[in-house]
Amino acid sequence: MTKRNLLLLSNSTIHGSGYLEWAAQYIKDFLNSKNVKHVLFVPYALLTMDSYAEKARKKFALWGYQLSSVHQAEDPVGAINSAEAIFVGGGNTFQLLKSLYDNKLIDPIRKRVLEDGVPYIGSSAGTNVSTISINTTNDMPIVYPPSFSALALVPFNINPHYIDADPSSKHMGETREERILQYHEVPGTPPVVGLREGGLIKVQGNTAQLLGLHPARLFTPGKQPEEYPLGSDLSFLLK
């Protein structure tokens, strides 16, 4: 049985609130349950890493936690290997994944999370890279990582910021649902959770629960999309 402890957020900010405010209690409860005092931040999804890390540092300090950033560590692998908890922030998923490969952090993060039970928090792009691949990101490929294969902390994919089609819209481009269904035309693709803004999935070992503010939409190859209400047990996705 895996030791993973994950908090996978669709996004960091919702309309009308500040950075991580909507998820504050979930984050604090998650970290406190593991007696975490110090969080290692991974800011690779943005190029403005110094200011991004400072933004995260100020927020976590308000909650009573210390936060350091892996991009300021002399030895990024060593920083991961000694981390009490890991928080991977949002931004551009391609930029994030390329930097994780460039800094040789894919395997160390996987080991720390799956074998050592180090708590992992992901937001948006940080949630994307926790899954099998980044194929269901919404981001533009501004850089080219060596692979779209990601951390595979869970055996499914997530589409953060999932948006439902507006029946009154005159926009003729593909809806988010249509894009995910196109992805599932490729043989062997995994289920995809459409995680609306303000939604999160909490994973402990082999259990997963949908929490946050909104229900989620599940896309499974060969099946019609399904709605899952808040509180739903999503543990079947981990099998």
Residues with active-site annotation: 124, 139, 161
Q: Which of 27, 44, 50, 31 is nearest to 90 (CA)?
A: 44
| CB under 8 A, 24+ apart: contacts of 206-211 | 206/1, 206/2, 206/235, 206/238, 206/239, 207/233, 207/235, 207/238, 208/154, 208/233, 208/234, 208/235, 208/237, 208/238, 209/233, 209/234, 209/235, 210/234, 211/26
